[in-house]
Structure 1
Amino acid sequence: MSHILVLYYSRYGATAEMAHHVARGVEEIAGLEARVRTVAPVSTVCEAVADTIPDSGPPYASLDDLRECSGLALGSPTRFGNMAAPLKHFLDGTSALWLSGSLIGKPAGVFTSTSSLHGGQETTLLSMMLPLFHHGMLLMGLPYSEQELLHTTAGGTPYGPSHLAGPESRRPLSDGEKSLARALGRRLAETARRLEHP
């Protein structure tokens, strides 16, 4: 069965929760499943510092997970308006996929969470898109036909779903934030299905 890879890094759980809502959206589309994966934390010298199998949660992503996917949803908390180092470290190791063109033409979207309302959600989403452009992926955001974008007072952008997690990352996702995360999953799954079965 074709799958959308939902790949994320989450330190306090907010981005992980978003990933699960994206995955739910994917699985609302018949014929596609979500494959949820995370990445290992890194040290200050950008080396993976965890065992090869996480203590809990989804497995760590491999290059095969990327190579085999029909589409990609990429998520990260915001770090000074940019993606977190563990996710960047993983993406920096995808040169073999770039050389082979394995991701060319596959749909992709991005999502993020921040502790403050103006904490760089949109710049983080845009920074996450850059390596995906280099891989030749087809970047997708959220259209304003998603009504939550017109009324959000927390997260949610046309560049991708976002979440305002609060200063201690304990604020739960709002109904609108959940809806937008699921919408991204559905869009990626629908697009992947159309590309595979024109």
Structure 2
Amino acid sequence: MQDILVLYYSHRGSVRALAERLARGIDSVPGAQARLRTVPRVSTVCEASAPGIPDAGAPYVEISDLEECAGLALGSPVRFGNMAAPIKYFWDGTIATWQNGSLAGKPACVFTSSASQHGGNEATLLSMMLPLLHHGMLLMGLPYTEAELSTTRSGGTPYGASHVAGGNGDPTLTEAESQLAFAQGQRLARLVVQLGKS
């Protein structure tokens, strides 16, 4: 069984909803299983500022999760066209993982959520790809063969699944957003399983 890490930070629940939907897509592929993990909040001086165990949801990620995974889906809310500080803080602490090449050659994808339709989704997805490229990961997006990519009126980009939460931060995914996140999870899992056979 190939473990695929679904690593995310969620402030109001939208990115968590995408992560859970991606995980369902991963789990639908024989030979693959999702491992949901999150990161703690950080203070304004970039130190972890959350309890050692989350109150709800996925457990906090550990470096061993990166080393053990066969693939990675990375999610963050939009912060001015960039990944949120807690995700950036986590990646800044992965120098040893980079040095030993633990992630090199493993498939990866990214996903995000913003408050508005043009709130920086694609820029955020691209920003999350940068540390993954430095780690030598194989990045994949969402092709236009996914019909919802051409018809969505909310989230969804060729760079990765996304959600438009609106000003009130509604985490409820539209049908298209849900289908695209599920499809992204499936695509990632199929590639991981295929590479595991070679």
TM-score past 0.5 threshold: yes
Tell me the distance in 2 between the aligned counterparts of 1:122 and 1:133.
Answer: 16
Q: Which runs of 4+ in 1 moved over 2 A?
A: none
1:60 and 2:60 correspond = yes
Measured after TM superposition, the shift of residue 102 of structure 1 is 0.4
1:1-198 equivalence runs, <5 A: 1-170=1-170, 172-198=172-198
SS of residue in 1 equivalent to 2:99: helix
SS of residue in 2 equivalent to 1:177: helix
Tell me the distance in 1 between the aligned counterparts of 2:52 and 2:100.
Answer: 25
Amino acid in the other structure paired with 2:146:
E
Tell me the distance in 1 between the aligned counterparts of 2:144 and 2:170.
Answer: 28
Measured after TM superposition, the shift of residue 51 of structure 1 is 1.8
Measured after TM superposition, the shift of residue 162 of structure 1 is 0.5
Deviations for 1:10-48, whole angstroms, at most 9, x for unmatched residues? 010000000000000000100110000000000000000
SS of residue in 1 equivalent to 2:45: coil
SS of residue in 2 equivalent to 1:33: strand
Query: CA 1:182–1:42 in 2, change beyond 3 Å: closer, same or farther?
Result: same
Measured after TM superposition, the shift of residue 171 of structure 1 is 5.3
User: RMSD of the alignment, in Å?
Assistant: 0.7
Unmatched segments (≥5 aa) in structure 2: none
Tell me the distance in 2 between the aligned counterparts of 1:180 and 1:104.
Answer: 26
Amino acid in the other structure paired with 1:161:
A
SS of residue in 1 equivalent to 2:146: coil
Tell me the distance in 2 between the aligned counterparts of 1:20 and 1:68.
Answer: 20
Unmatched segments (≥5 aa) in structure 1: none
SS of residue in 2 equivalent to 1:190: helix
Tell me the distance in 1 between the aligned counterparts of 2:170 and 2:193.
Answer: 36
Tell me the distance in 1 between the aligned counterparts of 2:130 and 2:186.
Answer: 22
How high is the TM-score relative to the length of structure 1?
A: 0.99
Deviations for 1:151-194, whole angstroms, at most 9, x for unmatched residues? 11100000000100000111521000000001111111100111
Q: Quick check: 165-174 or 39-48, which moved more?
A: 165-174
Tell me the distance in 2 between the aligned counterparts of 1:70 and 1:148.
Answer: 27
Tell me the distance in 2 between the aligned counterparts of 1:21 and 1:120.
Answer: 21
Q: Is the 8 A contact 2:161 2:180 kept in 1?
A: yes
Amino acid in the other structure paired with 1:96:
A
Across the two proteins, how many residue pairs are aligned to each other?
A: 198
